[in-house]
Amino acid sequence: MSVNQFIKPITTERKADLYIGGCNLLDLATVYGTPLYVIDEQSLRTICREYKHTFAENENIILTYASKALCNLTISKIISDEGFGFDTVSAGEIYTVYKAGADMKKVTFNGNNKTQKEIELALDLNVGRFSVDNFYEAELLNNVAESKNMQAKVLLRITPGIECHTHDYIKTGQIDSKFGFDLSQIDEIIELIVNKYKNINLMGLHAHIGSQIFELQSYSDEIEILVKELVLINQKYNLNLNELNIGGGLGVKYIEHDTPPTIEEFSEVVIKAIKSSCKKYNIDLPFVYIEPGRSIVSTSGVTLYTIGSIKQVPEGRKYIAIDGGMADNPRPSLYHAKYSAEIANDTYGRELEAVTIAGRYCESGDILIENINLPSPKAGDIICVYNTGAYNYSMASNYNRVEKPAMVLVNNSQSDIIVNRESVEDLIRLEEVPDRLK
């Protein structure tokens, strides 16, 4: 099995209490407080190495981690040390991976509305590739690069018209999408690059069809379209484009009935599709970028909460309220995302109850998990929610003026703080009251 097929980190142990990375989760909650993001280093490195191993014989494939899933200095350093490049979508992500020591030649810059300042920073830090998303960006990038007397190496992001079976909010490859050029617009943008934008060096094409994908045929279809378009462009414009970025999106197992493909199955489909498409169109194998994000980091992360109030609705549900919720994990509210959880402390002798885990925030929709069976929860119990490494910390907010949680890295019975908990002083640190109001 691949780590993306596990709900829990690979080091998870139930003794009396729950342990991850050799650390007692109750001790972590006591030392660092809750809510608390916990990252298992062994799980993270294992999944990186599995990706590297499955693609190892294909020198033309470049693995770049999708930083939007989880980006901070420590996570970026670990993933860089494991040999990955980075897919970034903002100046903040670019600067973070740069400070973490990433090889900037292996960094791509994506996004549908890059600002001039972000483009300037990316050029100054020698980001390897820009994924150009629209006509406005192409002109802006060319102008900024020209002002710096630089050449920007570019992939054109296209929408291949592929509908993958995932939540509408995380589909990106369909025709009606905010991302990328429609195939009918390819000629127009190529003409501009070839004839007008002299500071853009076109290298190839990019597509990304979505996230939390279980159907591998979608990747075969995408690769077929990308290779075909690459051949047509090269023939029509007498170019020699030889790079493709197929995005990422491989799914993970959040709950028991989820059945994501293994990384090996994913790699087999991708490699087969690339080789067969290139053979069909009689071209050499291009360089291929792959951008896994969620499947790299999700399973290695858990979030710890403390149970507070408990409410039994007469003839209705039993709510157990935790000290976090939609501000540190907005995914259930955004996409009705499902999670698995258990009580981390010893619950010997308790009977199972069907309960709903509710957040602390002032929204009726702040429900983390509905109708989960747990051993008779009590105030003060520590809840461990699994598979929160991706899109929890990265999407966290200060809603209700609540401080963002800390994050710790665990490995070999050692825990290290990698993101400090915010304080109430942090909440007002950037604010100013005008002198006339003092």
The per-residue pLDDT for range 348-403, each reduced to its tens digit, is 999 999 999 999 999 999 999 999 999 999 999 999 999 999 999 999 999 999 99
Q: Is the pLDDT of residue 115 over 50?
A: yes
Backbone angles phi, psi at 376, to 5 degrees: 20, 80
Instruction: Look up tokens 């209700």; give the residue.
Output: 400
CATH hierarchy code of domain 3-39+299-428: 2.40.37.10
Q: What is the pLDDT of residue 228?
A: 95
What pLDDT score does 161 carry?
78
CA gap 10, 6 in Å, rounded: 8
CATH superfamily for 41-297 is Alanine racemase (3.20.20.10)
- Residue 378 DSSP code: -
**Is residue 158's pLDDT more than 60?**
yes
Sign of CA dihedral 33, 36, 41, 42: positive
Mean pLDDT of 123-146: 97
State residue 42's pLDDT score.
Answer: 98
The two tokens of residue 131 are 């994924």
What is the DSSP secondary-structure string of 207-267?
---BSSB--THHHHHHHHHHHHHHHHHHHHHT----EEE----B----STT--PPPHHHHH
Whether the pLDDT of residue 346 is over 60: the answer is yes
The two three-digit tokens of residue 181, written as one number: 């050029």
On average, the pLDDT of the chain sits at: 95
| pLDDT > 90? residue 135 | yes
Query: Active-site residue 362, yes or no?
Result: yes
Confidence of residue 167 (pLDDT cuts 50, 70, 90): very low
The pLDDT score that the predictor gives to residue 175 is 57
Mean pLDDT of 60-82: 98
Q: Where along the chain do its domains lie?
A: 3-39+299-428, 41-297
**pLDDT tens-digit profile of 230-273?**
999 999 999 999 999 999 999 999 999 999 999 999 999 999 99
Does residue 323 carry a pLDDT above 50?
yes
Give 210's Cβ-side CA count (13 Å radius). 25
Query: How large is the average pLDDT for residues 48-76?
Result: 97
Query: In the chain, what percentage of residues exceed pLDDT 70?
Result: 97
The 10s digit of each residue's pLDDT in 12-60 is 999 999 999 999 999 999 999 999 999 999 999 999 999 999 999 999 9
